[in-house]
Amino acid sequence: MNPSTPKNQPLSGNAMPRFGGLASMLRLPVVSSAEGLDVAFIGVPLDIGTSHRPGARFGPRQIRAESALIRPYNMATGAAPFDTLQVADLGDVPINTYSLTKSLTIISDFYEQVLRANCTPLTLGGDHTIALPILRAMAAQHGPVALVHVDAHADVNDEMFGEPVAHGTPFRRAVEENLLDCHKVFQIGLRGSGYAADDFDWPRAQGFTLVPAHEIWYQSLAPLMARVRERIGNTPCYLSFDIDGIDPAYAGGTGTPEIGGLSVPQALEIIRGCHGLNLVGCDLVEVSPPYDLSGNTALLGANLLFEMLCVLPGVLRR
């Protein structure tokens, strides 16, 4: 992107009331191609990979609606993403809601095109199944990537109901397909009951670093993120954020809630702690609006996506 090209700006709340106009992500222009963009918000309205409560198909639309309150400057970090990056809303991936298999191909083809345009995708999910086709596109472009994965669940099941592809299996498949730099994978916020006592042995055996929620209760996560940055270095890194990593008190609108989760300030510390990483893409998944009529979960998701935008390479801090 030519630095002198005028950058898209979120529609101001002083130009159109925040409750008016079309609900694009952060009130940015909606475009049909990633060409010329540095960053694209992309919705993936898929929830046919869920195992319990559905509804994440409505996540992108509700996150966009709740994003209308977000203003362009990050007052805590000084980040000014729209000063230097060309950002837009690329709309939704037209998944096939009757076929998970076909949807995977549709998603990976879509993301390959986005990455070929040198555009960084920030994804509004959708259930966590979508991380697999996105990581396939990432690895095709960058080779195996480092991963910061926030979640109550490790999502490394071998199968669910006999199916190899579901929202609890993406990172098992990603390892098998050599999409991850396994010694640069961090899973943060894990908790809850398991299928077997050794559920977490497999990811550890692959080289993943697991950070269970109970080990970080009441703590600042700034020291953890310093370790994450040191280990990952400049390796292309993907951030996958399952909203159920956060406690259901703050994010109850999700499909498989687990008690005793991360606080919202800890979530902010994780994302802000990614500043300096070579982030090549991020997602925010598993927001299920029908289970949170207050809209709080989607509001949180929208803000976390803004925070992700604020730590991308090339964002200046004022």
Q: Which residues bind Mn ion (CB under 5 A)?
A: 128, 151-153, 155, 242, 244
Q: Are 230 and 277 in contact (CB under 8 A)?
A: no
Q: Report residue 102 as tokens.
A: 């076909």
- Least distance (Å) between residue 119 CB and Mn ion: 25
- For 215-230, give one letter per residue: b (16+ CB within 10 A) or e: ebeeeebeebbeebbe
Side chain identity at residue 7, one-letter code = K
Side chain identity at residue 162, one-letter code = G
- Least distance (Å) between residue 101 CB and Mn ion: 20
- Least distance (Å) between residue 153 CB and Mn ion: 4
Q: How many residues does the chain have?
A: 318
Q: In this complex, which beta carbon is closest to Mn ion, that of residue 92 or of residue 244?
A: 244
Q: In this complex, which beta carbon is closest to Mn ion, that of residue 36 or of residue 54?
A: 54
> Cα dist. 214→108, 260, 268, 284, 295 in Å?
35, 8, 18, 22, 27
**What ranges in the chain are assigned the alpha helix state H?**
59-66, 81-84, 100-116, 131-142, 170-176, 201-206, 222-232, 264-272, 296-310
- Report the distance separating Cα 121 and Cα 200, nearest Å: 29
- Least distance (Å) between residue 193 CB and Mn ion: 13
Q: Report residue 110 as tokens.
A: 């879509």
Q: Report residue 64 as tokens.
A: 């966009």
- Least distance (Å) between residue 255 CB and Mn ion: 8
Residues 6+ apart with CB under 8 A from 17: none
- Least distance (Å) between residue 175 CB and Mn ion: 15
Q: In this complex, which beta carbon is closest to Mn ion, that of residue 24 or of residue 254?
A: 254
- Least distance (Å) between residue 254 CB and Mn ion: 8
Q: In this complex, which beta carbon is closest to Mn ion, that of residue 10 or of residue 257?
A: 257
Q: In this complex, which beta carbon is closest to Mn ion, that of residue 52 or of residue 204?
A: 52
Q: In this complex, which beta carbon is closest to Mn ion, that of residue 121 or of residue 189?
A: 189
Q: In this complex, which beta carbon is closest to Mn ion, that of residue 244 or of residue 283?
A: 244
Q: In this complex, which beta carbon is closest to Mn ion, that of residue 188 or of residue 302?
A: 188
Report CA dihedral (301, 302, 306, 309) to the nearest 10 degrees.
70
Q: Quick check: bond before 162 cis, omega within 30?
A: no
- Least distance (Å) between residue 247 CB and Mn ion: 12
